[in-house]
Amino acid sequence: MHHFFYKNEELYCENIPLKKLAAEVGTPCYVYSHSTLQHHFNVFDGAFANVSHLTCYSVKANSNLSILRLFGSMGGGVDIVSGGELFRARKAGIPPERIVYSGVGKTVEEIDFALKEGILMFNIESTEELDAINSRAGILGCRARIALRVNPDVDPKTHPYISTGMKKSKFGIDVESALQAYEQAKNLDNIEILGVDCHIGSQLTEISPFVDALKRLRLLLDRLDAMGVSIRYLDLGGGLGIPYDQEAPPHPTDYAQAILQELKGLSCTLIFEPGRVIVGNAGILLTRVLYTKKTESKNFVIVDAGMNDLIRPSLYGSYHQIQPLQRKSTETQIVDVVGPICESGDFLARDRTLPVVASGDHLAVMSAGAYGFTMSSNYNSRPRAAEVLVKGDRYYIIRQRETWEDMVRLEEVAEFSQD
């Protein structure tokens, strides 16, 4: 569910008409619903209320400080994949004991930062990384708490770019190699083994891949127990999908029921890393129609948001529903909704049936709260969009729109000698 709805043929976010917001803040603009964010977090977290667990929101989905602070205030932790995300999480007030650090390419600087902050644990992706973290912990005079990310070789049945749990993936360690790595970790002076981590992909719309992965993890846990390795945390990652179009992903309560059924008798704390399922449908991208264009073969709606603002359609071929802020006409036409970027791949929708619109009208690109702003760029030297959080009948600009000056602030013009 979400709090974007029509009232008197006008699209609202909670109690604010989006046309008013577009006029006052401008476009392109990301808009998030506070009530939706809060509700989605509570539904997911509440599904596991009867077991020891920690919901670590996946920062990469949407890293705005206000959103991180909201989830932190509700008892959530975070899953991070870079030093920058750790910096953001701490800036937002997330306690270090609620932070887990994933990702295949942690640098020395990032490892040191995380060790000094005292995060809950590193999810380690390779034995070389294990050695590096052990070495840095020794130099800093501390012990690094770790889990190994295990790759269970399960097909998540999702887009190949966001599939992470199969043998060919760069992520994780296969089960047999993981056993050897845990044996190695047992003998390292500066490592404390806390858990096992597993994340198989994103935008999963079926429960069965999660269950298949868990069955393989249970066998691994039994073998680790026989080795004398005590597991206190089982990090099951994220990946639960959302409806963009006709998808029907499982509800978090159904997901939880299936997970807990497989984990009967296990006495460790569960960690989850939901991202998209919490923020995806809690945000939209507002854009203004600049021009309409008709050719022999196509009708185009040219808008002021492009692939630099929302790259998912161009990168993944992803579907986002597009709705007018005002439903003024019942007449429809098939159009491509395209942006101003100098690329043929710059589109938000192709061959889409939409109400007829004109220059100056506004559109809402739905389900843009996850991997929207965080994947945006300055391509074609376009300033990144503003971000707005709506709560009831008030809105808060939680990221100012970039200016042209902002884009060149860190650059210097080299003064070359003429010799």
**What residues act catalytically?**
342
Residue 316, marked binder: yes
Tell me whether strands 173-174 and 386-391 are parallel, antiparallel or unpaired.
unpaired
Residue 275, marked binder: yes
Bridge partners for 191 per DSSP: 144
Residue 382, marked binder: no
CA dihedral 295, 298, 302, 307 (to 10 degrees): -130
Residue 273, marked binder: yes
Residue 233, marked binder: no
Residue 317, marked binder: no
Binding-site residue positions for pyridoxal 5'-phosphate:
239, 273-276, 371
Binding-site residue positions for substrate:
276, 312, 316, 343, 371
Binding-site residue positions:
239, 273-276, 312, 316, 343, 371
